Structure 1
Amino acid sequence: MAAFNLTSSDPSAFILMGIPGLEFAHIWIAIPFSACYIISLLGNFTVLFVVWKEQSLHKPMYLLLCMLALTDIGMSTSVVPKALFIFWLNWKGITLDGCLIQLFFLHMVIVMHSGILVTMAFDRYVAICDPLRYATFLTNVRIALLGLVSLVRAVLIILPLPLLLGRLPFCANHMIPHTYCEHIAVAKVSCGDTTVNRMYGLLTALAVSGLDLTLIALSYGLILRAILRISSKKAHQKALNTCTAHICVMLMSYTSCLFSFLTQRFDQGIPSHVHITLANIYLLVPPMLNPIIYGVKTKELRVKVGKYICRR
Structure 2
Amino acid sequence: MASSNNDSTALISEFLLICFPNYQSWQHWLSMPLSLLFLLAMGANTTLLIVIWLEASLHEPMYYLLSLLSLLDIVLCLTVIPKVLAIFWFDLRPISFFACFLQMFIMNSFLMMEPCTFMLIAYDRYVAICHPLGYTSIITGQFVVRAAVFVIARNALFSLPVPILSARLRYCAGNIVKYCICTNLSVSKLSCDDIIFNRLYQFVAGWTLLGSDLILIVLSYSFILKVVIRIKGEGAVAKALSTCGSHFILILFFSTVLLVLVITNLARERIPPDVPILLNILHHLIPPELIPIVYGVRTKEIKQGIQKLLRSF
Question: What TM-score comes out, normalization by structure 1 length?
Answer: 0.95
Q: Does the 8 Å contact 1:16/1:177 carry over to 2?
A: yes
Identity of aligned residues (%): 36
2:240 matches 1:239:
yes
- Please give the alpha-carbon distance, in whole angstroms, between the structure 1 residues aligned to 2:167 and 2:186: 14
Task: Give the CA deviation at 1:7.
Answer: 6.2
Aligned: 1:70 with 2:71? yes
| Deviation string, structure 1 residues 245-268 (Cα, Å, up to 9, x no partner) | 101111111221232234335523
Which residue of 2 is the match for residue 257 of structure 1?
A: 258
**Counterpart residue identity of residue 227, structure 1:** V
* Unaligned runs of at least 5 residues, structure 2: 6-10
Task: Confirm whether residue 195 of structure 1 aligns to residue 196 of structure 2.
Answer: yes
Contact residue 297 and residue 303 of structure 2 kept, 8 A: yes
How is 1:149-164 mapped onto 2 (pairs within 5 angstroms)?
149-164=150-165
Name the residue aligned to 2:8: none
SS at match of 2:15: strand
**Equivalence map 1:203-218=2 (5 Å):** 203-218=204-219
Structure 1 residues 16 and 310 mapped into 2: Cα distance closer, same or farther (>3 Å)? same
Amino acid at match of 1:200: Y
Q: Is contact 1:112-1:154 (8 Å) kept?
A: yes
Instruction: Give the stretch that moved more between structures: 239-248 or 255-264.
Output: 255-264
The equivalent of 2:111 in structure 1 is: 110
Tell me, yes or no, if the aligned pair for 2:2 and 2:13 is still in contact at 8 Å: no
User: Which amino acid counterpart does residue 100 of structure 2 have in structure 1?
Assistant: C
TM-score by length of 2: 0.95
Aligned to 2:307: 306
* CA displacement at 1:217 relative to structure 2: 0.2
More helix, by proportion:
1
Q: C-alpha displacement at 1:216, in angstroms?
A: 0.3
Residue of structure 2 equivalent to 1:89: 90
Question: Partner of 2:281 in structure 1?
Answer: 280
Which stretch shifts more, 6-15 or 51-60? 6-15
Which residue identity lines up with residue 23 of structure 1 in the other structure?
Answer: Q
Which amino acid in 2 is paired with 1:108? S
Check 1:6–1:191 CA distance in 2 against 1; reply closer, same or farther (3 A cut).
closer
Q: Is the 8 A contact 1:78 1:106 kept in 2?
A: yes
CA spacing shift, 1:178–1:233, aligned 2, 3 Å = farther
User: What is the alpha-carbon distance in structure 2 between the residues aligned to residue 266 and residue 285 of structure 1?
Assistant: 22
CA distance in structure 2 between the aligned counterparts of 1:183 and 1:176, rounded to whole angstroms: 11
- Partner Cα distance (1:202, 1:262) in 2: 15
Report how far residue 233 of structure 1 moved: 4.6
Please give the secondary structure, in 2, of the residue aligned with 1:78. helix
Moved over 6 A (4+): none
CA–CA distance in 1 between the matches of 2:175 and 2:272?
A: 20
Aligned to 1:122: 123
Aligned to 1:47: 48
Deviation digits for residues 49-105 of structure 1 (CA, Å, limit 9, x no counterpart): 111112221100110110000011111111000000111111100011110000001
Q: CA deviation at 1:191?
A: 2.1
SS at match of 1:189: coil
- Counterpart position of 1:166: 167
- Going from structure 1 to structure 2, the CA distance change for 1:190 and 1:262 (only over 3 Å counts) comes to farther
Q: Which amino acid aligns with 2:182?
A: C
Contact 1:41 1:73 in 2 (8 A): yes
Alignment RMSD (CA, Å) = 1.5
Shift of 1:112: 1.1
CA displacement, residues 139-187 of structure 1 (integer Å, 9 cap, x when unaligned) = 1110121111010001111000011101111113111011110111112
Matched with 1:271 is: 272
Q: In 2, are the aligned partners of 1:7 and 1:93 still within 8 Å (CA)?
A: no
Range with bigger deviation, 263-272 or 213-222: 263-272
Aligned partner of residue 14 in structure 1, secondary structure:
strand
Q: Are the aligned partners of 1:14 and 1:93 in contact in 2 as well (CA < 8 Å)?
A: yes
How many residue pairs align between the two structures? 308
Letter in 2 for 1:296: V
Partner in structure 2 of residue 139 of structure 1: 140
Instruction: Answer with 255-264 or 176-185: which moved more.
Output: 255-264
Partner of 2:32: 31
Q: Which amino acid aligns with 1:73?
A: I
The alpha-carbon distance between structure 1 residues 194 and 233, as it changes in their structure 2 partners (threshold 3 A), is farther
| Aligned counterparts of 2:255 and 2:193: Cα–Cα separation in 1 | 32
